[in-house]
Amino acid sequence: MEEFTVATNATAIVSSKASIGLNVNIGDFTIIFDNVVIGDNVSIQSHCLIGQPTPLSNGEPLIIGNDSLIRSHSVFYEGSQFGSKLMTGHRVTVREKIEAGENLMIGTHCDLQGHTKIGDYVRLYTGAQINHASNIGDFVRIYHYSVLTNDPNPPSNIVLGVKVNKFAVIATMCCILPGIQIGENALVGAGSLVRKDVEPETVVAGVPAKYICRTSDIVLKDGSNQKAYPWMRHFHRGYPKEITDEWMSIYDN
Ligand SMILES: CC(C)(COP(=O)(O)OP(=O)(O)OC[C@H]1O[C@@H](n2cnc3c(N)ncnc32)[C@H](O)[C@@H]1OP(=O)(O)O)[C@@H](O)C(=O)NCCC(=O)NCCS
């Protein structure tokens, strides 16, 4: 371990088989297991399990990209990989066989069950639950306590994952039924039960969810009378300038 700059608190346990980058900080009582690769400039707070062994990983490592922050009491199994700038809230659970891009946010209490593809700049808010075989596109935002399901006849061995296409928004406390596709730039209203595919750039809402309008029909509730969607026109917080500049060049015209 001598060649690494690892600030490890006295109560943390770091396997000598793990590969740890430069400038990595590991909090009290955290365990870094054997089959783990951690990039540079990563902070892992206290009481985390990083690379929890499981036979379901088929021996693949847990890979955490550069410049990541994993907050306290989080559990990551071995066998998943995350690009740079991963950020979690507290107490997240992340299982094996997830392939995620860069700049993923996993909010407090999220539960990612594994075997899932996640694009770049995805935002998962508090308590979101992502089941096996989900496929989440770039810039998707899934809000608090929403669930992507996968078993149409529980309990069964059928796995029909949900696909959420890029820039789509799933508002708070939605349930998306197995095998459903949410179209690009679509919006699922709060508290919806989605049992049919959602067309791109449309708003659906309710139980069961029904077509409400085009996303372009919704106006921001700030008195400005501006269109609320595509949201990339006015909401830039947390995205790098090169990306928001590109959005501005598209939507200013
Ligand atoms: C979908 C949404 C944006 C629509 O808002 P809106 O443009 O103000 O729409 P309105 O409230 O005028 O509703 C239009 C119609 O759709 C229905 N509707 C809207 N949202 C609905 C919802 N979530 N569930 C069921 N029906 C809904 C309304 O009942 C109304 O139908 P009506 O004309 O027959 O009465 C809003 O309901 C929503 O879900 N916002 C997201 C909140 C959220 O979760 N934020 C993220 C976390 S903070």
Q: What separation in Å is there between the alpha carbon of 205 and the centre of ligand 1?
A: 7
Report pLDDT for 226. 94
- Binding site membership of 22 for ligand 1 (Cβ less than 6 Å): no
Ligand 1 pocket member 190 (CB < 6 A): yes
Task: Read off the pLDDT of each residue in 42-52 and give the average, rounded to a whole number.
Answer: 97
Q: Which atom of ligand 1 is nearest to the CA of 212?
A: 16
188 and 242 together in one domain: no
* Ligand 1 neighbourhood includes 133 CB (under 6 angstroms): no
Q: Identify the pLDDT of residue 1.
A: 41
Are 111 and 24 found together in one domain? yes
Predicted confidence band of residue 9 (pLDDT cuts 50, 70, 90) = confident
Residue 44 shares a structural domain with residue 118: yes
pLDDT confidence tier of residue 3, bands split at 50, 70 and 90: very low
CA of 154 to the centre of ligand 1 (A): 30
Same domain, 72 and 148: yes
Candidate from 4-8, 98-102, 206-210, 211-215 with smallest mean pLDDT: 4-8
Instruction: Please indicate, yes or no, whether residues 231 and 178 belong to a single structural domain of this protein.
Output: no
Whether 195 and 233 share a structural domain: no
Residues 28 and 64 in one domain: yes
Question: Is-contact 183 201, C-beta < 8 A?
Answer: yes
Which atom of ligand 1 is closest in space to residue 219's alpha carbon? 7
The 10s digit of each residue's pLDDT in 227-244 is 999 999 999 999 999 999
pLDDT at 5 over 80: no
Q: What is the C-alpha to C-alpha distance for residues 172 and 177, in angstroms, rounded to an integer? A: 15
146 lines ligand 1 (CB under 6 A): no
| Mean of pLDDT values over 85-92 | 98
- pLDDT surpasses 70 at 159: yes
Q: Is the pLDDT of residue 91 over 50?
A: yes
User: Strand 62-64 to strand 81-82: parallel, antiparallel, or no bridges (unpaired)?
Assistant: parallel
CA of 36 from ligand 1 middle (Å) equals 44
Check if the beta carbon of residue 207 is closer than 8 Å to that of residue 193.
Answer: yes
Q: How far apart (Å, rounded) are the C-alpha atoms in residues 26 and 38?
A: 11
Q: How many CA atoms lie within 13 A of 236 on its CB side?
A: 12
Distance 92 CA to ligand 1 centre (A): 29
* 112 and 166 together in one domain: yes
Q: Are residues 122 and 241 in the same domain?
A: no
pLDDT score, position 252: 75
The answer to whether residue 177 scores a pLDDT higher than 80 is yes
42 has a pLDDT exceeding 70: yes
More confident call, 3 vs 75: 75
User: Is the previous residue joined to 55 through a cis bond, with omega within 30 degrees of 0?
Assistant: no
Rounded distance from Cα 203 to ligand 1 centre (Å): 9
* Residue closest by Cα to atom 16 of ligand 1: 212
Mean pLDDT of the chain: 96
Same-domain pairing of 122 and 206: yes
- Look up the CATH number of the domain holding residue 48: 2.160.10.10
Ligand 1: atom nearest CA of 188 is: 1
Alpha carbon of 122 to ligand 1 centroid (Å): 23
Split into its structural domains, the chain has a count of 2
Single-letter code of the amino acid located at 197: D
Are 60 and 138 members of one domain?
yes
User: Could you tell me which residues come within 8 angstroms of residue 206 by beta carbon, excluding any fewer than 6 positions away?
Assistant: 189, 191, 192, 193, 212
Question: Quick check: 10 pLDDT over 50?
Answer: yes
**pLDDT-derived band of residue 4, with 50, 70 and 90 as boundaries?**
very low
Asked if residue 143 has its Cβ within 6 Å of ligand 1, the reply is yes
Report the residue among 141, 212, 221 best suited for mutation to probe ligand 1: largest number of ligand atoms under 8 A from its CB.
212
Say if residue 157 is in the same domain as residue 231. no
Boundaries of domain holding 242: 220-253
pLDDT band, residue 216 (cuts 50/70/90): very high
